Structure 1
Amino acid sequence: MTRLSVEMLAADAPAPISSAGHAQLGIAVLAGIAVLVLLITKFRLHAFLALALGSLVLGAVAGAPLDKVITSFSTGLGTTVASVGVLIALGAILGRLLADSGGADQVVDTILAKARGRTMPWAMVLIASIVGLPLFFEIGIVLLIPVVLLVAKRGNFSLMRIGIPALAGLSVMHGLVPPHPGPLVAIDAVKANLGLTLGLGILVAVPTVIVAGPVFSRYAARWVDVPAPDRMIPSRPSESLDRRPSFAATVTTILLPVVLMLVKALVDIVVDDPEDSVQRVFDVIGNPLIALLAAVLVGMFTLGRAAGFTKDRLSSTVETSLMPIAGVTLIVAAGGGFKQTLVDCGVGQMILDISKEWSISALVLGWLIAVVIRLATGSATVATVSAAGLAGPLAAGMSSTHVALLVLAIGAGSLFFSHVNDAGFWLVKEYFGLSVGQTVKTWSLMETIVSVVAGALVLLLSLII
């Protein structure tokens, strides 16, 4: 297992903008996170504004000049937008095409037609994992929960037996598998190999979703036995369409960017020559921007045109898909600004110095940092971005495989115990018609299982590879 060492920081690391000692920096971090928690939970301030103010408080308490704090925040914000902003937009377009064309319903209907009885929870995991791959978590919930409610109602299934596997599939994809924003930002922050992280992420995701989904749902259904609320079962949007894209075309379009990125990673391993023309071609094809752009362009034909969309309808779908992601993009960008402020104030170096004495695994430390920020802010994305900034210096000197595992450890920690300060908690509660206590027993506990199981698998892999 990778241990912390003095050599982990690069020799040419820039000097911090704060000269504060470890104690003051520790207080500054706590103050910054406390402001985040207070503004988001107490005053219901948008996370973008809370992150901006939290960064200023962090820098002020750390004794850094505020002009340099502002520069750090702006630099981190701009860098994050440049690295993942376009990817978020492309993912939103693909997700909207999937929903509006009826492609998502086609996947759902095809899989459910083959599933019966005991296999239904496994079918829900498969549906959520496929459909949730290109979608933001909140969009995935809105898209899939009506399906969950319909299946539970018509098949006379326990709501938790069907719902928990679907939620587990969505959550695992969101926290561990790019091109979701959190993993992408973490990959960029610690300079991990995207293809390698994607491959290992899928390897960790499969057993994690099995344990947290179909297995845990058996117990969740016993603890919370509630019927599907009729008031939350809306009409399905694709019923107004004359035709829908085929199952094969839909799945192929969804998986296209993943396949391109995995092929790039495989070519990088086999060829291992940056000057080789074949590797350079696949480096372009497997670039996440090109991979997602290709999926969007293909999706316009395999999803949009297959559903009978006109050129105007396709244009309208693209335009509509971009409006809801403004808030997500700003939150991710502000998280990058907060992360850069942490780094520039010297917090990363502080954590490195303190942790050397503990002889603690960098992977465990990354997981723990993400857990703390997740519990404090309620946002998995904010937890991932901030933890990646704090744990970034730990990646220096690590192998490419262990850097990828560090990203997954942070992603796993960012999913720990969703509670009342998380928007996902309230979405699940309202859609499923649960009380706060019932939501904690099911959704919150499921998220904790995802976090712990994924974290344990990451540590296990670090011993093997």
Structure 2
Amino acid sequence: MTGLSVEPSAADAVEPITTAGHAQLGIAVLAGIAVIVLLITRYKLHAFLALTIGSLALGAFAGAPLDKAIASFTTGLGSTVAGVGVLIALGAILGRLLADSGGADEIVDTILARAHGRAMPWAMVLIATVIGLPLFFEVGIVLLIPVVLMVAKRGNYSLMRIGIPALAGLSVMHGLVPPHPGPLAAIDTVKADLGVTLALGVLVAIPTVVVAGPLFSKVAARWVDVPAPERMLAQRPSEDLARRPGFGATLATILLPVVLMLAKALVDIVVDDPAHRVQRVFDVIGSPLIALLSAVVVGMFTLGRPAGFDRERLARIVEKGLVPIAGILLIVGAGGGFKQTLIDSGVGQMILDISRNWSIPALLLAWLIAVAIRLATGSATVATISAAGLVAPLAADMSTTHTALLVLAIGAGSLFFSHVNDAGFWLVKEYFGLGVGQTVKTWSVMETIISVVAGGLVLALSLVI
């Protein structure tokens, strides 16, 4: 297991923007995070503004000149948006195509037609996992909750028995598997290989979602036995559902970017020669940009044409897909700015200096830092980006696989115990018609199980690979 005895390479050395000692830097980090937490939780400020102000506060407390702190923040914001912004946009477009064409309905209906009785929770996990690959968590909830409520009502199932597996599938994809914003940002920050991270993320995600989904749902259904709320059972619009893409074409479109990125990772391992023609080809077609762009272009034909969409309708769908992600892009970018301020202030080197003789594994430290920020801010994305910035120097001498595991440890920690400062908490509460206490006993506990199980699996994998 990779520990903390890591030395930064000379190439990675950064001239700090302040000469503050370790004590002052430690206080500055705590103060910067405290400012972010206070602004988000008490004053309900948007996370983008909170991260911006917190980054400047961090620089000020560290004694850095204001102009240098601003330069660090804007540099980090720009590089982060440049690295992951296009990928987030492409993922949003693919998700909107999937929803508006009726492809998502086709997958849901096909799987539900083949699942009955005890198989239903497992079917809900499968649906949420497949649908959750290209969709943001909030979009996935809006898309799947009507299905969950309808299945629970018509099949006379416990709402928690059906709902928890669906939520677990969405949450695990959101925290551990690119192209979701958090994992992508962490991969960019610690310079991990996307294909390897994706492959290991899927490996960790499968047992995690089984434990937190179908297995925990049995317990959750005993703790909270509530019917599907009638007010949420309104019929979904039927427009275009008579003309929609087939199951095979929809599934192939969703999985196309995953297959391309995994193929690149496999070729990199087997060929292992950057000058080889085959590896060069797969380096291009398996890059995240080309993989997601290919899925979007293919989706316009495999999803849009069967639904009867003309070019004007497709253009509107692209526009509708891009509008909701403005806030996400700004939060991710500001998180990158906060990360760069941490690095330029010398915080990463401080962590290396202080922890050089510690026996705590680097992966466990990354998980714990992400847990602390998640509990404080309520945002998995903010926790992922901030934790990645803090522990990025630890990846300097790590192997490719352990760097990928570092990303997954951060992602696992970022999902720990969602509570009242998390927008997802309130989404689940309102959609399922639960009380605050009931939401804690179901949703919050499920998130904690995901975090602990995934974190444990990451640590276990680090012992054998």
Structure-1-length-normalised TM-score: 0.99
Identical counterparts, % of pairs: 80
Structure 2 residue identity aligned to 1:66: L
Shift of 1:234: 3.0
Instruction: Quote the offset at 1:8 in angstroms.
Output: 4.0
Structure 1 gap ranges (5+): none
Q: Superposed, which structure 2 residues align to 1:141-290 within 5 Å?
A: 141-290=141-290
Q: Secondary structure at the match of 1:306?
A: coil
Contact 1:338–1:386 (CA under 8 A) maintained in structure 2: yes
Aligned residue runs from structure 1 range 283-432, under 5 A = 283-432=283-432
Offset, 1:359: 2.0
- Residue identity matched to 1:437: G
Alpha-carbon contact 1:183-1:411 (below 8 Å) kept: yes
How much has 1:7 moved relative to structure 2?
Answer: 2.3
What amino acid is aligned across from residue 260 of structure 1 in structure 2? L
**Letter paired with 2:184:** L
Distance 1:188 1:245 in 2: 34
Deviations 1:42-70 (A, max 9, x none): 11111100100000111111111111110
Matched AA of 1:431? Y
Distance 2:421 2:31 in 1: 18
Judge conservation of contact 1:32–1:54 (CA < 8 Å) in 2: yes
Q: Using the alignment, how far apart are the partners of 2:304 and 2:238 within structure 1? A: 12
Given that 2:60 and 2:66 are in contact with CA atoms closer than 8 Å, whether structure 1 keeps it comes out as: yes
Match of 1:58 in 2: 58
Change (3 A) 1:11 1:90: closer
Name 1:79's counterpart in structure 2: 79
Task: Give the equivalent residue in structure 2 for 1:126.
Answer: 126
Residue of structure 1 equivalent to 2:4: 4
User: Which secondary structure state, in structure 1, belongs to the residue aligned with residue 389 of structure 2?
Assistant: helix
Q: 1:132 to 1:346 in 2, by over 3 A?
A: same
**Superposition deviation, residue 360 in structure 1:** 1.4
- Name the CA shift for 1:150/1:271 in 2 (closer, same or farther; >3 Å): same
Q: Distance in 2 between matches of 1:388 and 1:26?
A: 17
Does the 8 Å contact 1:100/1:237 carry over to 2?
no
Larger mean Cα displacement after TM superposition, 215-224 or 26-35: 26-35
Q: What SS does the corresponding residue of 1:320 show, helix, strand or coil?
A: helix
TM-score (norm 2): 0.99
| Structure 2 Cα separation of the partners of residues 6 and 261 of structure 1 | 29
8 A Cα contact 1:10 1:396, kept in partner: no
* Alpha-carbon offset, residue 41 of structure 1: 1.3
Q: Secondary structure at the match of 2:398?
A: coil
Measured in 2, the distance between the counterparts of 1:401 and 1:329 equals 28
Q: What CA distance in whole angstroms lies between the structure 1 residues aligned with 2:34 and 2:341? A: 16
AA paired with 2:73?
F
CA contact (8 A) 1:101 1:238 kept: no
Check the 8 A contact 2:9/2:396 in 1, yes or no.
yes
Contact 2:6–2:397 (Cα < 8 Å) also in 1: no
Unaligned runs of 5+ in 2: none
Tell me the equivalent position of 1:455.
455
Return 185-194 or 21-30, whichever deviates more. Answer: 21-30
- The residue aligned with 1:138 is 138
What is the rounded CA distance, in whole Å, between the counterparts of 1:414 and 1:6 in structure 2?
Answer: 23
SS of 1:237 mapped into structure 2? coil
Partners in 1 of 2:167 and 2:9 — Cα distance?
39
Cα pair 2:331 2:382 within 8 Å, conserved = yes
CA offsets, 1:258-284, max 9 Å, x none? 000000000111111111111111000
8 Å CA contact 2:6, 2:396 repeated in 1: no
Q: Distance in 2 between matches of 1:94 and 1:218?
A: 34
